[in-house]
Amino acid sequence: MGLPDKIYTERDIQRARTSSKVIGWLQGGAAVLIGGMMLNIIGWIPALVIVGVVGYVAYKVLSKPPADS
């Protein structure tokens, strides 16, 4: 069977890298904007409590030892 050596060209790969960086910047900017709006609406103390609870739960979930199979 005659399969091609490369599926994607270097130009395709570079375009994908560039577009993924742009999408990442847009997502980060949106997260900062929404976070700032949230702080304006609910205030600092409840926001810090929410961030603390989410951080604690994430720590507990990610630090579980792997189950023995």
Question: At how many degrees (to 10) do helices 10-42 and 44-62 cross?
Answer: 130
What percentage of residues in the chain have a pLDDT greater than 90?
A: 43
43-55: average pLDDT: 87
**CA angle (25 as vertex; 19, 28 as ends), nearest 5:** 140
Residue 3 pLDDT class (50, 70, 90 cuts): low
Asked if residue 57 has pLDDT above 80, the reply is: yes
**How far is C-alpha 63 from the chain's CA centre?**
19
Q: What is the pTM of this model?
A: 0.53
